[in-house]
Amino acid sequence: MVSWKPARPCRDLVGILIRFRRFHIGLQADIEKMFMQIVLHEADRDVVRFLWRDLNYELEPTIFRFRRVCFGLNCSPFLALAVLRHHAQVIGKKFPRAAAEILENMYVDDLVTSCDRVEDAVAVVQDTMQLMNRGGFTLTRWANNCPSLNDFVDKSSSGSGAGRTLRTLGLSWDRIDDTLAINVPRLSSRPTDTKRQMLKALASVFDPLGWVAHFVK
């Protein structure tokens, strides 16, 4: 009997969130237009063909091919992460700390990590941006919960994350109080609630860390 374990380049979401809460300085950023930075091999472009024609239905449709990783395909996140991890492994010798962050704390196009000191956070921002730039990627919308980093991050990033509350891997991160919260769906009022409606509402709560598991199970 031959066993096969599928490749999973994406790191475990729970592990990334736990490491995000490990140290008191939280950092997050995302890759700008990640899929658009990855060129498909010439031999693979035939599988992403599509038809296009003008409003004149008498004309034959024209066949086009995507040249970049196409957003919306099931394989696209895998392809993008595989390219990203390969790049980090190849360039990692020059930026070991940044490579470790990319390999361990990257979830699709989101980098979510934490540091114990301001100096470490500055080094992470600098090194990860340099490493990603080597591969044609740009880390933008940097956000943190440390006022000492704001000026540095604003100068280093073309699109800094703003606002007190931000989305962090499906959760709400309050940067001022440094707390994570789940998003509770808005329920419409009905004369009576059925069991199916209640189960549907409970299933819609995204709770990867199991904070409310005892109440919804």
The pLDDT tens digits along the chain (217 residues) read 555 565 666 788 999 999 999 999 999 999 999 999 999 999 989 989 999 888 777 888 899 999 999 888 888 888 899 999 999 999 888 999 999 999 999 998 999 999 999 999 999 999 999 999 999 999 999 999 988 887 777 655 655 556 788 899 999 999 989 999 988 777 777 777 777 877 777 778 888 888 876 665 5
Provide the whole-model pTM: 0.81
Does residue 34 lie in a domain region?
A: yes
- Which of 212, 215, 217, 208 is closest to 17 using CA atoms? 208
Does residue 175 lie in a domain region?
A: yes
Question: In Å, how far are 59, 133, 155 from 138, measured between CA atoms?
Answer: 41, 6, 14
Does residue 131 lie in a domain region?
A: yes
Does residue 121 lie in a domain region?
A: yes
Domain count, the chain: 1
- Domain that residue 140 falls in: 13-181
Does residue 201 lie in a domain region?
A: no
What's the rounded Cα separation, in Å, for the pair 85 and 67? Answer: 21
Please name the residue that has the structure tokens 């919306």. 72
Does residue 205 lie in a domain region?
A: no
Does residue 188 lie in a domain region?
A: no
DSSP of 15-76:
HHHHHHTTSSEEEEEEETTTGGG-BPPGGGGGGGEEEE--S-TTSPPEEEE-SBPPTT-TTH
Question: In Å, how far are 68, 150, 153 from 121, measured between CA atoms?
Answer: 33, 11, 10
Does residue 118 lie in a domain region?
A: yes
What's the rounded Cα separation, in Å, for the pair 32 and 160? Answer: 12
Buried b (16+ CB within 10 A) or exposed e, 30-53: bbbebbebbebeeeeeeebeeeee
